[in-house]
Amino acid sequence: MTHPIQSYHRKRNIPMGFFQFFLLLFSIIILIIKNSDQSNQPKRVCYLLAEKPEHLIPIDQLKFKLCTDWIFSFAHLNGYNVTISPLMDDYIRKVMSSSTTTTTNKTNVEQNFLISIGTGDMSFVDNPKDIEKFIDSIIQLMDRFSLDGFDLDWEFPEQRKHQFTRLLRMIRYRFQHKLNNHGKQYLLSVALSPNIYIVETSYDIRSIGHLVDFVNLMTYDFHSPNTFPYTNFNSPLYANRLDKLYFEYFNVNFAVNYMLQLGLQRQKLMVGIPFYGYKYFLVNQKFHNLYALSNGTEVSVAFNEICGREFLADPNTTKIFDPNSKVPYAYRNFEWITYDDYESITIKAQWIMDNHLGGSMTFPLNYDDYDNQKCKTNRNYPLQSILYDIIN
C-alpha cells in the first residue's frame, strides 16, 4: 500500500509536469510570435552617403532611432573586388562605434547596418569564379566592420536578367553557408528601378523576392530635365491630369502595384522617398505650370538647399501643391523645382501603411535638415522624423 503522503505527492507530480511543459510550450510560442512580429514590423531604410567630406553627417548629429536599417553608400568595384575609400572606412568605424555606445538614441527595434555598392559595370557576372571572388570581398568587408548585410545597387542589368538572378542566388547561398557554419546571418537587399522597360529587361521579380530580404524600390527620378525637358515631378504619388500614354506609368502608385503584380511580397517592398529634387530652367518664365518647356539643363538639389531662405522662404518664390500627384513644386523667375516636402511625405508614409507595404526607403538621409540650420522648423531631421512618426 502506498503511503497517503507519497500518493499525494505522486499525484501532484503529474499536473506539475504538465504545467511546466505547458509553460515551456507557451513561452516558445510567444517567442516565435514575437520574432515574427518583429520581422513584420515596417522598416525605415536609410541610405547614408559616406564618400565625400561635404556629405558626411557629424557623428554626434546622427539619430539612430530614426532608421531601422542604415545603408552606407557607396562602395566601389575594382574588377570583382569591393573597395571603399579611407574616408569611408574611418566614417563607418565611427558610426558603428557610436551606434553601440550612444544611449540617448536607443530604440527597442532591432537596427541593422549594411553597405551598398553602386555600379553600372558588373561584367564579371558571366564568370562564376569571379562571382565567388566578388562574394569573398563582400564578406570580408562586412566582417571588417561587423556589418549586418549587403545592398546591391546595379544600375542597370539590362538584357542580363538571368545573370542578375544567378548573382543574387550565389550571394544568398554563400550567406546561408556562413550562417550554417559560423552562426553569422547576413541580410541581402537590392535597389531596383521602377521603370517598366528596365524591369522587363533586367529583373525576374518573383525570383528576386525569394532571394533577398527586402527590395529598395527607387520610386524617384521619374522625370528629370535632361531626360525630358518639360517640367514634371521627380516622385509623384499618382499621375497628374496631364500625364498621358507612357507617362501615366511614371508614379509611385503604379510602380508599386506593378511590382506586386509581378510577384514581389508586400512586406519586402520598401518605397523610395527622395530627399532631393530637380531644378529646371524655364525657357519662358511666364509658363511655369506642369509640362512647361525648360532648356534641358539638369541640377539636382538637396532638400536642405531648397527649404531655406535661398528658395522656399524667399517671398519671390511661389509654391504649388498638386492635388492629383500629391507632391509640390515651386518656381521663381526662370527656376522651377520639383521636390518632396512635409505634406507629401506625410501622405506617402500613410499610403505605405494603408497598403501594408514593407516600409520606406530614404535616399539620402544626408539631404534632410539634420541640424535644423536651414529649414528652421525647430526639429532636427524634419523629413525623416515624419517617417519615424508614421511608419513605426
Distant-in-sequence contacts of 373-377, Cβ < 8 A, 24+ apart: 374/304, 374/305, 374/307, 374/308, 375/304, 375/307, 375/308, 376/308, 376/313
Cα–Cα distances in Å, from 101 out to 48, 87, 106, 351? 19, 21, 9, 35
The Cβ of residue 210 has, within 10 Å, a number of other Cβ atoms equal to: 15
Amino acid at 79: G
What are the cell numbers at 151?
A: 545592398
User: Counting beta carbons within 10 angstroms of the beta carbon of residue 66, is it exposed (0 to 12), middle (13 to 18) or buried (19 or more)?
Assistant: buried
For domain 26-274+340-390, give the CATH superfamily: Glycosidases (3.20.20.80)
Closest CA relative to residue 371, chosen from 31, 37, 12, 61: 61
Residue found by looking up cell 524591369 in the block: 199
Quickly list DSSP for 218-237: ----SS-TTT--B---SS-S
Closest CA relative to residue 102, chosen from 67, 68, 62, 45: 62
**Cβ neighbours of residue 269 closer than 8 Å, sequence gap 6 or more:** 214, 215, 217, 256, 259, 260, 357, 358
Question: Can you say whether the dihedral through the CA atoms of 226, 229, 233, 235 is positive or negative?
Answer: negative
User: Counting beta carbons within 10 angstroms of the beta carbon of residue 290, is it exposed (0 to 12), middle (13 to 18) or buried (19 or more)?
Assistant: buried
CA-to-CA distance for 272 and 143, rounded, in angstroms?
28
Closest CA relative to residue 292, chosen from 340, 225, 247: 225
User: Counting beta carbons within 10 angstroms of the beta carbon of residue 71, is it exposed (0 to 12), middle (13 to 18) or buried (19 or more)?
Assistant: buried
Buried b (16+ CB within 10 A) or exposed e, 255-289: bbebbeeeebeebbbbbbbbbbbbbbbbeeeeebe
Residue found by looking up cell 508614409 in the block: 349
Is residue 384 within 8 Å of 46, Cβ to Cβ? yes
Domain boundaries, the chain: 26-274+340-390
* pLDDT at residue 31, rounded to an integer: 40
In this prediction the pTM is 0.89
* pLDDT at residue 28, rounded to an integer: 39
The residues pairing with 336 across neighbouring beta strands, listed in sequence order, are 280, 331
The residues pairing with 150 across neighbouring beta strands, listed in sequence order, are 115, 188
pLDDT in tens, the chain (392 residues): 434 333 333 333 434 455 545 544 454 344 444 444 455 799 999 999 999 999 999 999 999 999 999 999 999 999 999 999 999 999 999 999 999 876 445 556 679 999 999 988 899 999 999 999 999 999 999 999 999 999 999 999 988 999 999 999 999 999 999 898 888 899 999 999 999 999 999 999 999 999 999 999 999 999 999 999 999 999 999 999 999 999 999 999 999 999 999 999 999 999 999 999 999 999 999 999 999 999 999 999 999 999 988 899 999 999 999 999 999 999 999 999 999 999 999 999 999 999 999 999 999 999 999 999 999 899 999 999 999 999 98
Please tell me the chain's helix, strand, coil percentages from 3-state DSSP, rounded to the nearest 5. 40, 20, 35
